[in-house]
């Protein structure tokens, strides 16, 4: 057996050894698991994973390499990754470099050779643990120090991470989704104006908005209602993002309430944006035991009876019992019954907990972008 060059230390003292990949050093974060079979690069660059190390339950991670075209943000946001097998040499015509080289260039740590089934069972049983992940090519680890760092990690409850991953200033977006053989396209022509609030927006969400026929202006998470309305938008979009929704809500909720109070604009939210809208409408959010992370989550549309297979990435959820009068629950998880969607009964204001942009994942839910676009048709 080769000498371990990486160590994953849980706050309860449990240790996992393996082979380090990517950058060297140490990171401290919350540990989650993701059941997606594809899209590891998109997952690592999803801003919603800020403050988390991702355990991939699927063993073949790294087998198609990496390409900068698939990044969902400028750099990886997840703190690190855990995989069962050492990544193999890439087998894909789009690959530009190996997963390990990509991680090293981006400053992210990985560990391979871990019993991810055992680790996943531990996460399910005890909740998302706090961990320290170290990679040292010489295999020298301060075990007591790693466990202490894991125990000292404050966790994500009460933590506003949207401010760390949002854009620094407003910008226009006109790129559309990737299609064979042209690749990514560009939206042209007149279209309704959408202000997209960036709590940690994935690029493919913005592409989907443009693809559905929206003229998108992205604004920072700190934007006020006055800032948003000064753009004279036809609709407002609330993006995904990381951290505790109650913490981000301290400044996001007043903005959303301001837009709701002063206009009848259509509003559409995804993931953290869903939670922000729920808080603005008077509901509450709670921390989940181990969250939902994967590309195979069944969600039932309570209004049509249809079931969609969706991508999810969230550790907090809207408490459906706290929804006020006039706010309807529209979608629920068929895994645990948790809330996955809401809408106002009398206005084109709606949101979902899952990721209809499908990057990675199924495309069952793209209709939501078209629904948002259709709600703006009279103003277009």
Residue 110 φ/ψ, nearest 5 degrees = -135, 155
CA proximity to 72, closest of 364, 368, 361, 377: 361
CA proximity to 271, closest of 250, 299, 251: 299
CA proximity to 194, closest of 234, 134, 139: 234
Query: Using CA atoms, how far apart are residues 305 and 7, in angstroms rounded to an integer?
Result: 46
Tokens of residue 49, six digits:
């994973």
Residue 79 φ/ψ, nearest 5 degrees = -70, -30
CA proximity to 121, closest of 29, 14, 216, 21: 14
Any idea how long the chain is?
A: 380
Query: Using CA atoms, how far apart are residues 34 and 45, in angstroms rounded to an integer?
Result: 14
Query: Using CA atoms, how far apart are residues 169 and 166, in angstroms rounded to an integer?
Result: 9
Contacts of 73 (CB under 8 A, 6+ apart): 45, 46, 47, 165, 200, 202, 203
Task: Name 112's bridge partners.
Answer: 19
* CA dist 3 → 36, 131, 137, 333 (Å): 30, 21, 9, 43
User: Cβ distance 119 to 55 under 8 Å?
Assistant: yes
The DSSP line for 201-265 is: --HHHHHHHHHTT-EEEEEETT--HHHHHTT--SEEEE----S-HHHHHHHHHHHHHHHHHH---
Pairing of β 171-173 and β 339-344:
unpaired
* CA dist 323 → 130, 159, 241, 279 (Å): 31, 23, 22, 9
Alpha helices in 85-221 (DSSP H): 99-106, 116-126, 143-152, 162-165, 203-211
Which residues form the catalytic set?
271, 355, 357
């Amino acid at each position: 057996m080769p000498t371990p060059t990486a160590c994953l230390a849980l706050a309860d003292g449990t240790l996992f050894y393996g082979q380090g990949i990517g950058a060297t050093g140490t990171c401290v974060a919350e540990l989650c698991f993701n059941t997606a079979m594809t899209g590891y690069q998109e997952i690592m660059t999803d801003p919603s994973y800020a403050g988390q190390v991702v355990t991939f339950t699927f063993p073949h991670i790294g087998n198609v390499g990496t390409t900068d075209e698939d990044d969902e943000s400028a750099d990886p946001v997840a703190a690190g990754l855990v995989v069962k097998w050492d990544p193999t040499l890439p087998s894909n015509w789009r690959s530009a470099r190996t997963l390990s080289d990509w991680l090293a260039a981006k400053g992210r740590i990985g560990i391979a050779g871990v019993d991810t089934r055992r680790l996943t069972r531990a996460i399910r049983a005890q909740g998302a643990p706090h961990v320290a992940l170290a990679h040292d090519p010489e295999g020298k680890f301060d075990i007591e120090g790693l466990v202490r760092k894991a125990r000292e990690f404050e966790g994500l409850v009460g933590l506003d991470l949207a401010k760390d991953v949002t854009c620094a200033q407003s910008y226009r977006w006109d790129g559309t989704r990737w299609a064979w053989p042209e690749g990514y396209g560009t939206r042209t022509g007149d279209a309704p104006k959408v202000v997209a609030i960036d709590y940690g927006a994935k690029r493919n969400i913005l592409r989907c908005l443009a693809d559905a026929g929206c003229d998108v202006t992205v604004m920072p998470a700190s934007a006020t209602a006055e800032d948003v309305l000064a753009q004279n938008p036809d609709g407002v979009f609330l993006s995904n993002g990381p951290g505790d929704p109650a913490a981000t809500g301290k400044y996001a909720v007043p903005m959303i309430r301001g837009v709701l109070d002063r206009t009848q604009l259509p509003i559409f939210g995804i993931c953290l944006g869903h939670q922000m809208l729920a808080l603005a409408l008077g509901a509450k959010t709670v921390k989940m035991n181990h969250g939902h992370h994967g590309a195979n989550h069944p969600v039932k549309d309570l209004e049509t009876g249809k079931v969609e297979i969706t991508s999810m990435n969230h550790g907090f959820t809207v408490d459906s019992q706290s929804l006020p009068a006039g706010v309807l629950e529209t979608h629920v998880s068929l895994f645990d019954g948790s809330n996955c969607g809401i809408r106002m009964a009398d206005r084109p204001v709606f949101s979902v907990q899952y990721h209809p942009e499908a990057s990675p994942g199924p495309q069952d839910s793209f209709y939501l972008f078209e629904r948002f676009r259709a709600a703006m048709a009279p103003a277009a």
